[in-house]
Structure 1
Amino acid sequence: MFAEAGAVTVTRVPKDDARRIARGCGASVLTTLATLDGDEAVDVGALGSAELVEQVRLSDDDVVVVRGAREQHAATVILRGANDYMLDEMERSFHDSLCAVKRVLESGSVVPGGGAVEVALDIYLESFATTLGSREQLAIVEFANALLSIPKQLAVNAAKDSIELVAKLRAYHAAAQNAAPDAPRSHLKNYGLDLHEGKLRDNVKAGVLEPAMSKIKMLKSATEAAINILRIDDMIKLVPEQQAEDPHAHM
């Protein structure tokens, strides 16, 4: 029927691909053309539209390309590389970038990266701890110091002087938190590590940003893990049973 009408027919299309094409073209997926009267018919409202449908050859495969879909809810990205290893790395990097964009859109806000958030929290919590006159002060100070392990590890991984960089970064954020909102030093709150040059920079201007949602979830997960570990009072170790030697065994 389709061939007689001059329509292109594609067989053995995966269900997920069929749903994506239908969503992009503004169509509906039909499992049958049969009607209740026993005839065959197609509802015009279930049809979609696109500017061009063509068959092209990519590498060793023939694929059908749909261009100019009406709704544009789906797109296909073609990755090309010299070998499978490079393609796997490209796919992983592209997937990570899509996940980062997704997190930003879900969160609706971003924070400077490069250890800026962790150092800012460290300075704030140390200042807050001095207002307490109880033993909670010690716990807050230790939690603040634990946050510094993230920028320190970032610097170590980049083969930079972690002690010097983190010390300068703490001084910057301490000055920013003690300054007025319109003071010249208030912009120092956006400073983080520049792991390429081994110095500090305004990571908001440099575009080194992190989704606020991911940062909050990371801190919550790490805190909950530490709490669960601290709740453990003792450990019971199960020693595996030793098998008795067979006196009849021969070496």
Structure 2
Amino acid sequence: EYRVDLDDIMVEKKPGGSITDTGLIEGIVLDKEVVHPGMPKRIEKARIALINCPLEVEKTEFDAKINIETPEQMEAFLREEENMLRSMVEKISSAGANVVICQKGIDDMAQHFLAKKGVLAVRRAKKSDMEKLSKATGGRIVTNLDGLSSEDLGYAELVEERKVGDDKMVFIEGCRNPRSVAILIRGGTERVVDEAERSIHDALCVVRDVVQEPKILAGGGAPELEVARVLRDYAESLPGREQLAVQKFAEAIEIVPITLGENAGLDPIDILSELRARHEKGERWAGVDVVGGKVENMERLEVYEPLAVKKQVIKSATEAATMILKIDDVIAAAKAKPPKTSGYGGVPPSY
């Protein structure tokens, strides 16, 4: 049994360009830029350190004052800070990393030392992005530089900063067997990008459902018509009010092909009549072809839907209808009255 976690798929939006520029990245894309102008903008065969600790001089947990009275003391103080930052960078370099993705901040001096080492660095990455990077690159997120080793590093064929629209983004591509990937959505306007995001999310949900429950059935309202036909035949065998309930359930299910026909600009009565007639003849694959604007064989057109989605739709609709039918009475809420005032402050009293 397969399980698909959509959280492992990063969907990043960036207005600009064409919708055809939207694509899958076998890795991760960060809406960040390289922190220092002296750093390389492109690293091939990247060895990536994922760090969840600040590359800064650690601040004390309590208030403290340092009295510096001479230039020598000031120089010694600054030198010690520099040595601490240099030590951090040396630990990263010794592990073999040439790319650093840091969840916290990176001090300006540390940026300078990293740039001199030829290391590409990104700071303040989101926690969710760090987790995806770990899955994509195979690296481990390190919270203490003292424990950083070559075994903790992730790998990617390419890490590169690119200009996307008006912004810069960092692409981590070519990961080995990535367990997390990214989709970068482009479009001419914000509205186009948002609509594309919704469509991609719907498509991903469909793929997830098919992978987790690999069963499909015809689309176009064909299953609903066939179920309605069988229910009507079954209703004939029931006595009294039960027969009416089953017949009404059959009518309710037929709303799916009716709605498809209306959305395609077709006459719903004509569509429903033709669908019923063809299903009575045994054409159980007959459904609404919204492109051709007529009733067609859905199997021949290869129009399918995941069984899991269809079951959930019918189940949810039935539960909602059942809940409403259980309501015995409706109590209208009374209009709220304004609070009584005493008449002070120039406000007339209310009774």
Matched residue type, 1:87: V
Aligned to 2:118: 6
Kindly report the root-mean-square deviation, in angstroms, between the aligned alpha carbons of the 2 structures.
2.3
Distance 1:71 1:175 in 2: 51
User: Which has more strand, going by share of residues?
Assistant: 2
Q: Give the counterpart letter for 1:147 in structure 2.
A: I
SS at the partner of 2:281? helix
Aligned mate of 1:207, from 290, 302, 305: 302
Q: State which drifts further: 229-238 or 50-59.
A: 229-238
- Percent identity over paired residues: 35
1:84 equivalenced with 2:179 (yes/no): no
Corresponding residue to 2:157 among 47, 51, 74: 51
Q: Does residue 107 of structure 1 match 2:219?
A: no
The match for 1:70 is 176
TM-score of the superposed pair, with normalisation by structure 1: 0.82
5 Å-filtered alignment, 1:59-208, equals 59-176=165-282, 188-208=283-303
Q: Is the Cα–Cα contact under 8 Å of residues 112 and 204 in structure 1 kept in the other structure?
A: yes
**Which string of whole-angstrom CA distances, capped at 9 and with x for unpartnered residues, describes residues 179-214 of structure 1?**
xxxxxxxxx322210123221112233232222111
Unaligned runs of 5+ in 2: 1-88, 94-113, 341-347
Could you tell me whether the CA contact under 8 Å between 1:50 and 1:66 is conserved in 2? Answer: yes
Shift of 1:5: 4.6
Contact 1:48 1:70 in 2 (8 A): no
Among 334, 343, 347, the residue aligned to 1:239: 334
Letter matched to residue 209 of structure 1: Y
Per the alignment, in what secondary structure is the counterpart of residue 135 of structure 1? helix
Return the offset for 1:241. 5.3
CA distances 1:77-107 after superposition (whole Å, capped 9, x unpaired): 2222222222222222222222222222223
Segments of 4+ in structure 1 off by > 6 A? none
TM-score, length of structure 2 as denominator length: 0.60
Distance in 2, Cα, partners of 1:232 & 1:137 = 22
Q: Which amino acid aligns with 1:123?
A: R
Number of equivalenced pairs: 230
1:94-147 per-position Cα deviation (integer Å, ceiling 9, x unaligned): 222222222222232122111112111100101111222343112111111121
The AA in structure 1 aligned to 2:140 is S
Partner of 1:180: none
Which residue type is aligned with residue 170 of structure 1? R
Match of 1:39 in 2: none
Give 2:135's aligned residue: 23
Give how far 1:7 is off: 3.0
Contact 1:23 1:71 in 2 (8 A): no
In 2, Cα distance between equivalents of 1:219 and 1:189 = 19
The structure, 1 or 2, with the larger RCO (C-alpha pairs under 8 Å, 6+ apart) is 2
